[in-house]
Structure 1
Amino acid sequence: MTALTTAAALQRIRADVQSMHAYAVQEATGLLKLDAMENPYGLPPALQAELGARLGAVALNRYPGARGDDLKRALADHAGMPAGFSMMLGNGSDELISMLTVACDRPGAAILAPVPGFVMYGICAQLQDVKFVGVPLTADFELDGPAMLAAIATEKPAIVYVAYPNNPTANLWDDAVIEQIVEAQGAQGGLVIMDEAYQPFAARSYIDRVARHGHVLLMRTLSKFGLAGIRLGYLMGPQALIAEIDKVRPPYNISVLNCECALFALEHADVFAAQAAELRAQRAQLVAGLAKVPGLMQWPSEANMVLVRVPDAAKTFEGMKAQGVLIKNVSKMHPLLANCLRLTVGTADDNARMLAALESSL
């Protein structure tokens, strides 16, 4: 009887959901984890003790309250949020993308983004039954400006996502092409979301240009800042737009512990800035090492990852894993990524071990 009722209940779940694959998180036990663009550095012991005492005093018996407003003010100051802008918080950027999709889900709505790109843009659209339009990048992972403009004219998307830098390609796109896309999307009445998840590692930010446009929102996360475990994303934009999108946010979506951790980190932003500077330096060393590996192609990186192409991605991935190094095989994500691997930038020791495993696995 149990199996029969379970089978019957499964029929209540949407067919397209049943045909989907869940977001895959690789098992990393016992491996050097360099697959998810995480900051390899933890808090110094003194700060760990200080944070522990502070979290121990948090009122866990109360729903989140005004402390969330304190966090928004601190983030606005940290990011240099323009005057006249507002902010909303999400349980990571993933929740913000989901809420944007819900808020813009009108009949016939479409969401557009370059591909390959962050998979959650398309996943959130599918879950909300919104059309997703992926516009392929060029062969060297640059924006295809004419194709993007043509898709905007044809589809008239509610949202265009521009990742700055992009994941998994790690590059910053041409600013002139980005402005063409922003102008075209504004002319047809749609939103542009500038996704700056990897801003701590990039040479440029859109923050100094975002206020020029009334239809552009800027999204960031504390995951690459060094706090992937607390799940905290934030969205900045004109007050009128943020006020409407915020209506679909679940109440109390940011826990008191996440909030207090984020506030604590921002009070010690210099520690995390130093970690980001060290990772940028290590990225340069890794790029130099990769350049010496025969049979390997790499692309410029403005993030804490490097995209490389090898003769056989599956063989190299498994060879590295057998040596205790876990990276990300992105070769099946999109045809443009054929035989590509994504390497997270780690500490000097991490990178040396990853490079050795890569060379011996080619």
Structure 2
Amino acid sequence: MTAPESVRPPIDRIRTDVRAMHAYAVQDARGFLKLDAMENPYGLPPALQAELGARLGALALNRYPGDRGADLQRALAAHAGLPEGFGLMLGNGSDELISLLGIACDQPGATVLAPVPGFVMYAMSAQLQGLRFVGVPLTADFELDEAAMLAAIAREKPAIVYLAYPNNPTANLWDDAVIEKIVQAQGAQGGLVVIDEAYQPFAARSYIDRLAGHRHVLLMRTLSKFGLAGIRLGYLMGPAALVAEIDKVRPPYNISVLNCEAALFALEHAEVFEAQARQIREGRDQLMAALARLPGVKTWPSDANMILLRVPDATRTFEGMKARGVLVKNVSKMHELLANCLRLTVGTADENAQMLAALEASL
């Protein structure tokens, strides 16, 4: 039986702005050396794999998550050095936390503001939650445009300002004095600042020591770059009363018992992951030195496990590297400031050597 012609097709029930969107693209990495997603290239040693497997196997998978979530919150607070009187909430990766912040702040006319180019989920989540997104371009060298940021805050009075520290995809840490001016300006007009420290294990500095000085600043981290991208665990820290309000919109049981136990296990063996981060930082420095010797290649300082570089022809170089079995990220179409730019993930020493050879052959 066919529906009458006057009946709208089911797809018309989907929001028009959603239908006009592009889904978040994840490249098919099968058969490639995968250096496109800023993942830790090191796995757990075999003995720890066996120990973790036994712990996960003993969990009560027939029960909803219980008090272990509170144990994980305490362990993360201790690991981060969270100040007294501050709260912490868990998310299914930072992506969920960004969505929850949008839901909690979704008042009529609310705006989210962030420097661009930056993490795409700030804008995408704002749109999906019905908030306006305002992007403020960085300078040509990917530094914060202080005057433009302060003018935008005064003009837009945003509910949330996101500052990635360091930034993705540019990998740099911005000037602390400029960040403080932005934090002060946003606080003066009653808005929130979210400092996104996704790449904290590789950065020279953290905002955690300044968190106690502000009642409107939230600090967001993830265990993805710590070395657990597969378990999807993010956490948001800030003044306890503020975190408690945002936590009200969190779905119940959003962190599975498997994710929770794996995260607790990793924190108990934090020294293993810290050693891996140290290797990645050393590999990054060696990679930067090698890239500096390649003609026609420009790089920018990195405080993350990625390197942004500009080449004469990003599409040609990306396809050439892919043909040689190496997958990186072509970010050249993300923003006009990123023209002919590629983003490389720092891998193991052998992976970095393969990546360099493929890059040099593809320029």
Report the TM range for the smaller structure's normalisation. over 0.9
- The unaligned stretches of length 5 or more in structure 1 are none
Q: Which residue of 2 aligns with 1:8?
A: 9
Letter in 1 for 2:10: A
Match of 1:124 in 2: 125
2:218 pairs with 1:217: yes
Tell me the TM-score normalized by structure 1: 0.99
Match of 1:113 in 2: 114
CA distance in 2, matches of 1:2, 1:177: 62
Q: What secondary structure, in the 3-state scheme, does the structure 2 residue paired with 1:319 have?
A: helix
> Partner of 1:208: helix, strand, or coil?
helix
Q: Which runs of 5 or more residues in structure 2 are unaligned?
A: none
SS at match of 1:248: coil
Aligned sequence identity (%): 79
- CA gap 1:329/1:2 in 2 versus in 1, 3 angstroms: farther
Could you list the structure 1 runs, at least 4 aligned residues long, displaced by more than 4 angstroms after superposition.
Answer: 1-7
- Aligned pairs for 1:1-362 (under 5 A) are 8-362=9-363
Please give the per-residue CA displacement for 1:280-309, whole angstroms capped at 9, x wherever unaligned: 000000000000100000000000000000
1:94-129 CA-partner distances (Å, limit 9, x unpaired): 000000000000011000000000000000000011
| Aligned-pair CA distance for 1:2 | 8.0
CA distance in 2, matches of 1:22, 1:242: 29
Q: Distance in 1 between matches of 2:208 and 2:3?
A: 54
State the alpha-carbon separation in 1 of the partners of residues 328 and 2 from structure 2. 41
CA-atom RMSD in angstroms? 1.3
- 1:148-178, Cα deviation, whole Å (9 max, x unpaired): 0000000000000000000000000000000
Relative distance call for 1:359 and 1:77 in structure 2 (3 A) is same
Q: Distance in 2 between matches of 1:3 and 1:209?
A: 61
Q: What secondary structure sits across from 1:35 in the alignment? A: coil
Structure 1 counterpart of 2:224, one-letter code: S
> 1:258-280, CA deviations, whole angstroms, 9 ceiling, x for partnerless residues?
00000000000000000000000
Tell me how far apart the structure 2 counterparts of residues 22 and 59 of structure 1 sit (CA, whole Å).
Answer: 35
Name the amino acid aligned to 1:293: L
2-side partners of 1:7 and 1:105: how far apart? 30
Amino acid aligned to 1:13: I
Q: Distance in 1 between matches of 2:3 and 2:64?
A: 39
One-letter amino acid of the structure 2 residue matched with residue 245 of structure 1: I
Q: Distance in 2 between matches of 1:155 and 1:133?
A: 8
CA displacement, residues 233-260 of structure 1 (integer Å, 9 cap, x when unaligned): 0000001100100000000000000000
- Give the AA of the match of 2:285: A
Once residues 4 and 308 of structure 1 are traced to their aligned partners in structure 2, the CA distance between those partners, rounded to angstroms, is 56
TM-score (norm 2): 0.98
* Secondary structure of the structure 2 residue equivalent to 1:307: strand
How far off its partner does 1:3 sit?
10
